[in-house]
Amino acid sequence: MHRKEKILLSLLLVGALGSMAAFGVLGAFSSTTSNLNNSFAAGTVVLADNDANSSLYTVSNAKPGDTVTRCIRVTYTGTLGSDARIYTLSPIGALGPYVDLTIQPGTMPGATAFPNCTGFTADPGGALYTGTLQNFGSTRNSYANGVVDFPGATSSWATNDDVVYQVTAQLQASAPDTAQGATTGSHTIT
């Protein structure tokens, strides 16, 4: 055998062995399994009220001792357990130190229209907030330091929970003469 023949025969042998090795790898048994229909969905936190985008109170020309009491129903339709906090981001004007504010949670018959308080029954725990509007604006001015409330004796809001908040604002009978013509300014209770 000549050298060329030996090299050619060696190449053929290597090629044949490589083909057999490739066939052996591709011919191995295999198996798979699947886990179908995976998904991930976020829950919701949804609060609504019955105010139809109207003010809870708008008082003008008030004199010392004048009081306004209104009710608003807050309903939870979210899917996650949640908490609710009451606060204001609004600056309170010069009359704020002379307006007493009380926020009382309770219940009312379902069909009562905003801001009517007919049939309101206060929760036995008492008012959530009692103090001046100015104090409310400076101490309850974010979600983090808002007044926390839950429906009844629970520790979380659940789907279809609701609470009626009776809000009372009164110009103090002892408001000084310097309060004449002053205003709280437009403010939002969140």
174-187 per-residue burial string, b: 16 or more CB within 10 A, e: under 16: ebeeebeebebeeb
* Structure token digits, residue 101: 């504010």
Phi and psi at 137, nearest 5°, equal -65, -30
pLDDT value of position 165: 96
What are the tens digits of pLDDT across the range 117-140?
999 999 998 999 999 999 999 999
**Segment 79-118, tens digit of pLDDT:** 999 989 999 999 999 999 999 999 999 999 877 789 999 9
- Residue entry with tokens 């979600």: 143
Indicate the pLDDT class of residue 73, thresholds 50, 70 and 90.
Answer: very high
Average confidence score pLDDT of the chain:
89
